[in-house]
Structure 1
Amino acid sequence: MEPFDVIIIGSGVAALTAAYRLCSEKKVLIFTKSRVMESNSYLAQGGIAVAINEGDDWVAHADDTLVAGSFYNHIDNVNKLTSEGKRYITMLIENGMNFDRNATGQFDLGREGGHLRRRILHAGGDKTGKALTTFLYHQLKDKVNIVEHEMVIDLLMHGHQCVGVITKRKNGEVTYHYSAATIIATGGCGELYTYTSNARTVTGDGMAMAYRAGAILTDMEFIQFHPTLLYKDQSVIGLVSEAVRGEGAFLQNSKGERIMEGVHHLQDLAPRDIVARTIFTELEKGETVFLNIAHVRDFPSRFPTIYQMCVENGIDLAKNLLPVVPGAHFMMGGIRADAYGRTSVSGLYAVGEVACTGVHGANRIASNSLLEGIVFGNQTAEGLLNENLSIPSTCFEPKLPVGKRTPPNLPTKEEIKRQMTTFAGIVRNGDGLHALLTWIQQFDFLHTDWRNLTFKEIEITNMLTVSWLIAKSSLERKESMGSHYRSDFPVSVMAKKREEVVRQIYQDQNVLVRGTV
């Protein structure tokens, strides 16, 4: 089979952005194990944080990003994310992407958790992800090869170089596809948890494949739990965007007490890790937590997706109370990558949530995820356009080891979710993490021949692999920071020292950083 210049795994905003920039000069092939429009990007209700308004600037956006990330962020990449965002968003607008505007024709900017200014662009109210992915798809659908319902099960390796992917169709057919560059853009791993905002396809596949190929993964302990997932009859119905709190909604318990008062100076718009832990504490006390929307103007028209979700599931909106729980939302860690998507493996790139460039630190600020996909999707493509891509001629006869057909006694997805939620969730401790590792390690998930497994078995082995990495990383970090909260290791002096170092770096660069956290 004739090799491609670039193979992209995934179909979210990062994948589509990179493909759009590459397709005019490179032969591009996209694989998605489901449909193109089934991704976390498509589901994103929040918007895109960008300093585009007069009176705002990228430095202020960077400051807010650092504070939310517990100053654990990669400073240069944060600067790139926030300073380049306006340029790439402007390019999208010039190409026809429409964002919501007010009656005067100005952008109707929202405010969300962790941001001190209104800088969130939306499209279609709470349908930003749908609008953006649909726009990008229509821009490139006739310019690249897009293959749906074909799962990438492993990376093709030639020594230490990635030279393509191995895929499997639902009929069992396995195919090798060669490429000079392979971009992993498969998203995070929300499906490892019982409650999640993620698409059902997000099972950590890209991280697991990269680990098996020898790529470096980092910061796997940092998993963000979104504070407000709509909850009814012991099940999550969907996400309630942080933008609702940005428009005046607040969290209360069944007694009517506002639970964020006295917890953080931003109250209901505090960084997500703080809000999620506060709700978790209330739930542990046996309380029910509600999002009170009484002060939100024009809720049905401002948030049509959430409104319809409530109506369809019998939530009594006359009471203005939406029952909510926290759920797995975003992975700050992942495959270590630089600003151009380059990983530790030659020929292998990573972009979007599956990658860890360090921009989010220990906790992602609201609405920086779509921005990340846009900025680093463009950066990765620009880097590849300037590279001379090639495949060794000797790589076309891969000698792949043949392993077992399936690991014995695979657990169910539900069992993995329960274990991860209990022991590697919002609040963790050493004993629980050791118990989780013992449970995971009874399964032989790393030594098998993925070509002989079913789709479901492959997903389960990938879920076990990523769960194992998260558990081990969580044990290694013996401090509480951002989204990683160890009840046996409270916030340490290291966090304060880290903040002081970051502030000094910014001071040396003559960039003003705002006051105390």
Structure 2
Amino acid sequence: MNNPDVIIIGSGIAALTAANQLSKEKNVIIITKSGVNHSNSFHAQGGVAAAIRSNDDWHSHYTDTIIAGCFHNDDSNTRTLVQKGSDYVKQLISDGMPFDQRKDGDLYFGMEGAHSKRRIVHAGGDATGKAIITFMFQQLNDNVSIIEYEMVIDLIVHDHRCIGVITKNANDKLITYYAPSTIIATGGCGHVYATTSNDATVTGDGIAIAYRAGAKLADLEFIQFHPTLLYKDNKVLGLVSEAVRGEGAYLIDRHGNRVMQGVHELEDLAPRDVVARTIFHKQNKGEQVFLNIANVKSFASRFPTIHHLCNEHGIDVNKSILPVTPGAHFMMGGIEANYHGQTSMEGLYALGEAACTGVHGANRLASNSLLEGIVFGHLASNDILNNSIKDRLVPSGDLEKACKQGEGKLINHTVLPQKKELKDKMMKYVGVIRNAKNLQKMKAWLEKYDFFNQTLYELSKNEVEIVNMLTTAWLITTSALERPESRGGHHRSDYPVQVEQWCKQRITRHIDEHNFKSKGAL
């Protein structure tokens, strides 16, 4: 099916939500560079945030979201996220998605950082992503074709309209696919950094291919570092979900002192950027930070994935002390997209972490990521179904030849850096804390490599991935240089303006202006 109605790049929750809706009327191809389960969505331990309890409402969820986002959120899209999110999660439950329940049969609602209420639904304890992705794959019909281990390396653009993609398959053969609509749902860029919670396949590919095609990007400086990655012998072993702190765990130093006391009014459930910076400062002073799980009831059954991870790597959970460190987790920015996932380029949509709809502001609220994929996956598919591009543009032989072979100088294979060197430098110079001197160092290092305006068709898939990493790293670095303030996931030590205080001053006024019911959000 080389000429489908819709091409979807990626296989996470946003991709599958869109595919399920679109396949009711259209032929869809899902293309993923690895196996279908290699996505951040599949590995998501946290749940889905939705105001569906009787004592909750969208106003409260909205307030929590914009406070965590340091008031950098797009107001309209954030309202859409929390309002429609409740409806779509209810529909998911109605369709048979098995979220965890209490003994009385009611849904179990978890608590996570910066939320004012328990509103997180989970599945399989800490295996929500796996459960939802498995469920969604089961819903796919015959109108969806899945192509694994094939990497999209570029978009095909004609008159500023995306008309398809160019891929390399498992045998490094170039293949072209044409479609009236293409959706980028490739996830974020965690593996541009040395320390990350992300699946190994998440290397900023979607950001890079959109940039090369000329699509607008936004807010790439805002990278969220998750505070609690399991860490042993200078190696990240996996993620320790924020839900663990929501169930009573707390951060301590090697002397047993509470790390977050006196730092923020929410202490261990403060927004992620606050907690990550606090741990980072401790580590810079030579201190190690641990998560004390002694207060978490039935840890093994409530968090089976994390429990297994600890046992696998020789960490004794009976001692109730887990070594943790911050790591790159989520990109708030991305390919600029509107309410319907439409980008600045006709025929091109962006969804999930690859997109920037503004719903996360400068710092994502816990468990809003899966929700984003569900909500905007629905909205984008509705837009495509209601406004289909009828004509299918297939380029002439000359244009197709140019797409496949490229023009100009090819990158010299020997001048590309090793991935490890790039990742280490990004962690050092463009990590949790930034300043102009380090950002300039990183920018200069990146620009030694000739990755701009180069054709990629003669490179291996691994080399294309390095080019994508270089491109995304450069975009993050230059964006960080252009924002001379500290806000959310972007913290500049040379501009130590604390927007947190400014945000607090706005909270009461903001709630009063909108006449919110849920003042308990404070």
TM range (shorter): over 0.9
Which structure 2 residues correspond to residues 136-155 of structure 1 after superposition, within 5 A?
A: 136-140=136-140, 142-155=142-155
Task: Give distance in 1, aligned partners of 2:106 and 2:133.
Answer: 23
Task: Give distance in 2, aligned partners of 1:119 and 1:515.
Answer: 14
1:464 is the counterpart of 2:455: no
User: Structure 1 residues 351, 105: CA separation in 2 closer, same or farther (over 3 Å shift)?
Assistant: same
Task: Give distance in 2, aligned partners of 1:231 and 1:142.
Answer: 43
Report the CA distance between 1:447 and its aligned residue. Answer: 2.8
Question: 1:261 corresponds to which residue?
Answer: 261
Report the CA distance between 1:406 and its aligned residue. Answer: 2.5
Pick the aligned partner of 1:446 from 429, 444, 452. 452
Which structure 2 residues correspond to residues 130-279 of structure 1 after superposition, within 5 A?
A: 130-140=130-140, 142-279=142-279
Pick the aligned partner of 2:441 from 435, 439, 447. 435
Task: Give distance in 2, aligned partners of 1:498 and 1:248.
Answer: 25
Equivalent residue of 1:335, what SS? strand
Opposite residue 423 of structure 1, the aligned amino acid is Y
Opposite residue 469 of structure 1, the aligned amino acid is L
TM-score normalized by the length of structure 2: 0.96
User: Structure 1 residues 448, 281: CA separation in 2 closer, same or farther (over 3 Å shift)?
Assistant: same
User: Structure 1 residues 65, 497: CA separation in 2 closer, same or farther (over 3 Å shift)?
Assistant: closer
1:324 is the counterpart of 2:316: no
Cα deviation per residue 1:67-87 (whole Å; 9 max; x = unaligned)? Answer: 100011001111110011111
Contact 1:197 1:329 in 2 (8 A): yes
Question: 1:50 corresponds to which residue?
Answer: 50
User: Structure 1 residues 291, 11: CA separation in 2 closer, same or farther (over 3 Å shift)?
Assistant: same
Equivalent residue of 1:451, what SS? coil
User: Structure 1 residues 122, 394: CA separation in 2 closer, same or farther (over 3 Å shift)?
Assistant: closer
User: Structure 1 residues 497, 126: CA separation in 2 closer, same or farther (over 3 Å shift)?
Assistant: closer
Task: Give distance in 2, aligned partners of 1:277 and 1:494.
Answer: 13
Report the CA distance between 1:141 and its aligned residue. Answer: 5.5
Task: Give distance in 2, aligned partners of 1:168 and 1:383.
Answer: 29
Q: Where do 5+ consecutive residues of structure 2 fail to align?
A: none
1:405 is the counterpart of 2:410: yes
User: Structure 1 residues 427, 513: CA separation in 2 closer, same or farther (over 3 Å shift)?
Assistant: farther
Report the CA distance between 1:393 and its aligned residue. Answer: 4.0
Report the CA distance between 1:362 and its aligned residue. Answer: 0.3
TM-score normalized by the length of structure 1: 0.97
1:487 is the counterpart of 2:493: yes
Equivalent residue of 1:4, what SS? coil
Cα deviation per residue 1:446-502 (whole Å; 9 max; x = unaligned)? Answer: 2322111101100000000000000000000000001100000012579838974x8
User: Structure 1 residues 511, 241: CA separation in 2 closer, same or farther (over 3 Å shift)?
Assistant: same
Question: 2:125 corresponds to which residue?
Answer: 125
Task: Give distance in 2, aligned partners of 1:349 and 1:508.
Answer: 34
User: Structure 1 residues 494, 477: CA separation in 2 closer, same or farther (over 3 Å shift)?
Assistant: farther
Task: Give distance in 1, aligned partners of 2:501 and 2:289.
Answer: 30
Q: Where do 5+ consecutive residues of structure 1 fail to align?
A: none
Task: Give distance in 2, aligned partners of 1:495 and 1:294.
Answer: 33
Calculate the aligned-residue CA RMSD, in Å: 1.8
Contact 2:20 2:141 in 1 (8 A): no
Identical residues among aligned pairs (%): 54
Cα deviation per residue 1:329-388 (whole Å; 9 max; x = unaligned)? Answer: 000000000110000011100000000000000000100000000001011111111013
Opposite residue 15 of structure 2, the aligned amino acid is A
Opposite residue 314 of structure 2, the aligned amino acid is G
Equivalent residue of 1:162, what SS? strand
User: Structure 1 residues 158, 498: CA separation in 2 closer, same or farther (over 3 Å shift)?
Assistant: farther
Opposite residue 409 of structure 2, the aligned amino acid is K
Contact 1:70 1:495 in 2 (8 A): no
Equivalent residue of 1:252, what SS? strand
User: Structure 1 residues 2, 235: CA separation in 2 closer, same or farther (over 3 Å shift)?
Assistant: closer
Opposite residue 133 of structure 1, the aligned amino acid is I
Cα deviation per residue 1:114-143 (whole Å; 9 max; x = unaligned)? Answer: 001000000000000000001001110643
Task: Give distance in 2, aligned partners of 1:387 and 1:113.
Answer: 39
Question: 2:301 corresponds to which residue?
Answer: 301
State how many pairs are aligned: 516
Cα deviation per residue 1:52-102 (whole Å; 9 max; x = unaligned)? Answer: 111000110000001100011001111110011111111111211110000
Cα deviation per residue 1:193-214 (whole Å; 9 max; x = unaligned)? Answer: 1110000000000000000111
Equivalent residue of 1:403, what SS? coil
Contact 2:70 2:500 in 1 (8 A): no
